[in-house]
Amino acid sequence: MIRQLFSPIIILILFAVTTLGFQSCLEDKCDAKRTYVQFNPVYLKGPQFRVDISATQARPLENPGKIYVYKNYLLINELREGIHVFDNTDPNNPVEVSFIEIPGNVDMAIYNDNLYADSYVDFLTIDIQDVQNPVLLDRQTDVFNLLGNDPERGYLVYYNETDITIDIDCSDVRFDNGWFGGINGGIFVDAETASDGSASGNAGIGGSMARFTISQGFLYTIDSYILKTWNLNSPANPIMVDEEQVGWNIETIFPYKDMLFLGSTSGMYIYNTQDPANPSYSALFQHANACDPVVVENDIAFITLRDGTRCQEFTNQLDVVDVSNVINPKFIKSYPMDHPHGLAVRNSILYLCEGDYGLKVFDVSDLENIDKNKLDAYDNMNGFDVISLKNDLLLMIGSDGFYQFDSSDPKNLVQLSHIPIAPK
């Protein structure tokens, strides 16, 4: 499972620094072992990642992130390192073409042969008419908000995760906490608690975990709390024309008709794009604190909520919401799931990634009985995100690699190909 940390970490750090300490020793003492996930901050200065963009020979998948489809190309993010490019003309045999090195890259979108990508805090425009010879056209610096900037150490770009076991005294104030502050800005989290898009014109297609999306000739990007709108009248020179502070912990963006659906850890925000240059707030559907991608079909939103370190503890479930009136979305029903991640819906068939529990397929034509209409399940693979295409091609990425299926019979998906991750 791929996890990223955003503003909750900063909150935890401030809380830890101001409130945590050690209690005085008690007469009755005991020791115990606790296993934690330690999050160590990684700092980089601008010159370390503000380098020219180049393509190298194709390389194996190691830590795959998000997926994107453009023309006959398949793009797979290698977390914070760049983008794998495959010729997917034959889904039975995707052919490696190149690897585009982009330090700090997580998200992408493409319009008229221009690749838009993040590079930590920067926003890049890259000409990919020749995917083996990409050309960096523009770099706009300090566009995205990450985790902070230290004058001496540079940008706090992410946290490394390490499982550690420590001895701790039962009288320690940290004994029953799910987390506590460490040295050098590190954070420990209790290991037991850490556990298709649409496109228009000459744009590509991303998954439900996307943070970049293109609609009506505009690019929309989100970071942890800001929605930015980019005019693509000149695709090689995107211009930011609007910036909206949405809320905290915004994670995903999904376009539907003239609306944007933003998934956050606290709810689903709906923005109206009737004026695509100036998205306006319509509504917020709130839920308990949980990770939250969303997809929409036929005015019905499907939202997955799951527990995990960043998302705190919460029941794993699928929420179904009527968004026919975007000013007043109506909750329909929740269904328990194992550990839901990304999802896609097409023609009332829902494809739902369940992390280590694989992929599940549901007929959602009866919204009140989705749990009774599970068509199939594949539990021998890891599912992070999925894209359903019009040609009955289903694409899925997970921690064990990339899969393609023929979904013409949703009761019996046929695996066409698998690109595994490199052996460790």
Which DSSP string corresponds to 299-346?
TEEEEEEB-BTTTBS---EEEEEE-SSTTS-EEEEEEE-SS---EEEE
Split into its structural domains, the chain has a count of 1
Is 155 inside a domain boundary?
A: yes
Is 60 inside a domain boundary?
A: no
Is 184 inside a domain boundary?
A: yes
Model pLDDT for residues 103-133, shown as the tens digit of each residue: 999 999 999 999 999 999 999 999 999 999 9
In three-state secondary structure terms, 414 is: strand
Is 348 inside a domain boundary?
A: no
CB 235 within 8 A of CB 114: yes
Residue range(s) defining the domain that contains residue 19: 7-46+146-193
Interval 86-113 mean pLDDT: 97
Interval 335-340 mean pLDDT: 94
The residue to which tokens 């026919």 are assigned: 324
Model pLDDT for residues 16-75, shown as the tens digit of each residue: 444 444 444 344 556 666 656 677 888 888 788 899 999 999 999 999 999 999 999 999
Model pLDDT, residue 44: 80
Is 26 inside a domain boundary?
A: yes
Is 175 inside a domain boundary?
A: yes
Percent of the chain exceeding pLDDT 70 equals 79
Is 29 inside a domain boundary?
A: yes
CB 133 within 8 A of CB 55: yes
Model pLDDT for residues 149-164, shown as the tens digit of each residue: 878 888 877 777 666 6
Is 24 inside a domain boundary?
A: yes
